[in-house]
Amino acid sequence: MAAGSVARSVYARITVVIACCTLLLTFSFVGLLAIVSGTADAVTARLPWYLVVGALAFVATIVLLELYGATGREIIITASFTGAWAVVLVGLGVEGVRYTINHPEEVFVSRLVLYFLAAGLLGTGIAYWALHHWREFTTQSGQRL
């Protein structure tokens, strides 16, 4: 495969990941608005499903990091954060989708979605950067913390 087509393939994958993460964050912001405003109904009925998603993310992270030879400490810390963030982002994201479907005028007419989209894109950029540079913050004078 030519170097140009490999680069295009990588850029295409990165673009898809960025778009999906931005949409998830955007819907999560809308979901937070729905919960804070009190218009999200029966959230507690869906909470067990959000916890199942978080548990799946926790276990998948453990398995993947074991395959890559990470230390036990790195695995449990990363898996815990991944599971917790999965519960929060998926839960808020689903609530955001539900709110958007039930109250489209409040999301689109007020252009609120543009602010949330901008915030989602910024959050995606920060997360992308953090994933690529997190080791720089876990070392001190060349030593791992």
Residue-wise pLDDT tens digits, 120-140: 999 888 888 887 776 676 665
* Token output for 90: 């998926």
pLDDT of residue 38: 87
pLDDT at residue 85 in the model:
94
pLDDT reported for residue 2: 67
Q: Distance between CA 110 and CA 98 in Å, rounded? A: 17
What pLDDT is recorded for position 40?
81
Does 10 have pLDDT greater than 90?
no
Average pLDDT over residues 2-6: 71
Residue-wise pLDDT for 48-89, tens only, equals 999 999 999 999 999 999 998 889 998 999 999 999 999 999
| 109 vs 117: CA distance, rounded Å | 14
Q: What local confidence, expressed as pLDDT, does residue 143 receive?
A: 55
**Where are the alpha helices (H) located in 1-145, listed in sequence order?**
3-37, 43-67, 72-102, 104, 112-137
Over residues 91-117, the pLDDT tens digits come to 999 999 999 999 998 888 878 888 998
Residue type (1 letter), 34: A
Return the domain boundaries, the chain: 3-131
In the prediction, which pLDDT does 97 show? 94
137/145 Cα distance (integer angstroms): 9
Look at residues 7, 132, 98, 35 and name the one whose alpha carbon lies nearest to residue 124.
Answer: 132
Share of the chain above pLDDT 70, in %: 90
Mean pLDDT, rounded, for 32-47: 89
Q: Is the pLDDT of residue 26 over 60?
A: yes
